[in-house]
Structure 1
């Protein structure tokens, strides 16, 4: 199943698609760190560093993308993570900017990934209508990566669109008999990374307060994660025995470990975040540490896309058998 990957990021979604039987043929993203990482992982793909709007799809053989089009438009302006900042309409418009690619390639399948709040966008109905008018049936699937074997609780909307066959529903994608993985599965506990004392003069008071709430709940000597940039009622921390909470584009997780009776702190590192994306075999060697954190925060958990592509291939195979 050949696929084209728009807003491809570092290729975590593509990693899942390849595991599900796909082949990356063409990928586009505006961020050089993302495309360099993608090219490193998928050397057979033609990778373009550019805005999707600035690439003319008619440059390419339409047969190149006849199977599957993946697109992950910018989600910042749809997400609660932007806080009180006003939505950027240019960013919002990326959700429909892939239509010329659909018109040129006419793929059998389209998979659109975004935050769940995309459905609250005042042009969401128009997006669905534009896809439907091109002959596609749309299945809206809200999927949590933790249910597919990723050690991260990451809920995302996947609009799975089929032109020649009905797309799989949520019920068809579930159940997945994958082991329930947790944050404990991703952390390096062998002393690889340098830690500093939790109680230091330079430590922010809010950080210490988060940690003390966790210690009061768990007891001393139990490792846990501090969760920054959160407005929920979980106290600003989480147990290692739950899937990691959603990775964002900024450093969000501090790991508290113990040296005897002394708590020590460090931030989770890119290799650990990579495991949380379910992309353990992915290469993440391009850019700064901050770039790598952002690449993970912008990505799609690989096991989810693997399951989707496996389902699409199963449908194609069934149709082919029935036609034979």
Structure 2
């Protein structure tokens, strides 16, 4: 099976494809740093750095499946106040339609946040896919059900050139605790009690300690897991594009580090990311969890 990866980002879809023995022939993203990172991890793939809404699909090699993760920022509830650029972000989904129109690819897997189906133009987008002969089956999947130590619900639209929508038969894997990927011997720890620590943080830690003991994880900002954080014996909450999760160990704490976030997303320890913490976390927070992509593609092949 040959795939192309649209909006490839850090390469979670492509990495999952590799694990499923699917060859990713071509991958594209508009961000040069993302393309460079994808190239480092997938040197066998042909790469393009471009705005996919301006793509010449004649130059894209033949393939059996399109993997696509159009921008989610305009749909996500975490986006905050509606802003003018959100329209431009949402419109990236039309690149999937234009690619499908030219290639008539047998299968397409589109990943986004569940709120994608609430987009004002989603009915029009869906109609366009139907007009091209695609039956579309929405699947809302939690990465924790695919062996990733993170609860991360995402929408996967399985689009096939078939009479009826294709419902994938996906095995529900055992949940993994976040505690098994935390590096407790890290040197990044800082005292919890220190000048300048916010009262909200201290109260959240106190509540978490009362519920979970000395070791737990807690959202450092936003309403994440409420006021008590969550146990290290269950998957962590969603990894976002910026630092969100704090690790607490007794009287010390620190933010989740990139090697831990990488494992919490289902990437291997050897997977290459940008050297700067900020850029690496941004790419991880936008990525598809590779084990989830792997399971979807294995099930898609089995159903074909």
Q: CA deviation at 1:230?
A: 2.6
Pick from 249, 258, 263 the counterpart of residue 257 of structure 1. 249
The residue that corresponds to 2:81 in the other structure is: 84
* CA displacement, residues 160-198 of structure 1 (integer Å, 9 cap, x when unaligned): 01114755415x22x33x231011122112x23321101
The alpha-carbon deviation at position 233 of structure 1 amounts to 6.3
Q: Structure 1 length as normaliser, TM-score? A: 0.89
Q: Do the aligned partners of 1:228 and 1:236 also contact (CA within 8 Å) in 2? A: no
The size of the alignment, in residue pairs, is 303
Q: 1:283 aligns with which of 271, 276, 292?
A: 271
Out of 235, 248, 252, the position equivalent to 2:240 is 248
Change (3 A) 1:313 1:109: same
Cα displacement string for residues 122-175 of structure 1 (whole angstroms, at most 9, x for unaligned residues): 1111111111110111110000010111111000000001114755415x22x3
The answer as to 2:96 corresponding to 1:98 is: yes
For 1:208, the equivalent position in structure 2 comes to: 202
Q: Quote the offset at 1:306 in angstroms.
A: 0.7
Q: 1:230-283: per-residue Cα shift (whole Å, max 9, x none)?
A: 33562151211111100110100111113xxxx101111111111111112552
Report the CA distance between 1:49 and its aligned residue.
1.7
Q: Give the secondary-structure state (helix, strand or coil) at the position aligned to 1:159.
A: strand
8 Å Cα contact 1:15-1:282 kept in structure 2? no
Contact 2:71 2:90 in 1 (8 A): yes
Residue 273 of structure 1 is matched in structure 2 by 261
Deviation at 1:315, TM superposition (A): 2.3
Quick one: structure 1 residues 43 and 84, their matched pair in 2 at CA, closer, same or farther if it must change by over 3 Å? same
How far off is 1:93 after superposition? 0.7
**1:188 corresponds to which residue?**
183
Taking structure 2 as the reference length, the TM-score comes to 0.94
Q: Which of the residues 123, 126, 129 maps onto 2:124?
A: 126
Structure 2 residues without counterparts, runs of 5 or longer: none
Give the Cα–Cα distance (whole angstroms) in 2 for the partners of residues 60 and 113 of structure 1: 20
Q: CA deviation at 1:119?
A: 1.0
- How much is the aligned-residue C-alpha RMSD, in angstroms? 1.7
Task: Indicate conservation of the 8 Å contact 1:149/1:180, yes or no.
Answer: yes
Per mean C-alpha deviation after superposition, the further-off stretch among 149-158 and 50-59 is 50-59
Q: 2:290 is matched with which residue: 290, 298, 302?
A: 302
How far off is 1:54 after superposition? 2.8
Offset, 1:40: 1.0
Match of 1:227 among 208, 219, 226: 219
**8 Å contact kept, 2:26–2:60:** no
Partner residue in 2 for 1:28: 28
Once residues 272 and 259 of structure 2 are traced to their aligned partners in structure 1, the CA distance between those partners, rounded to angstroms, is 8
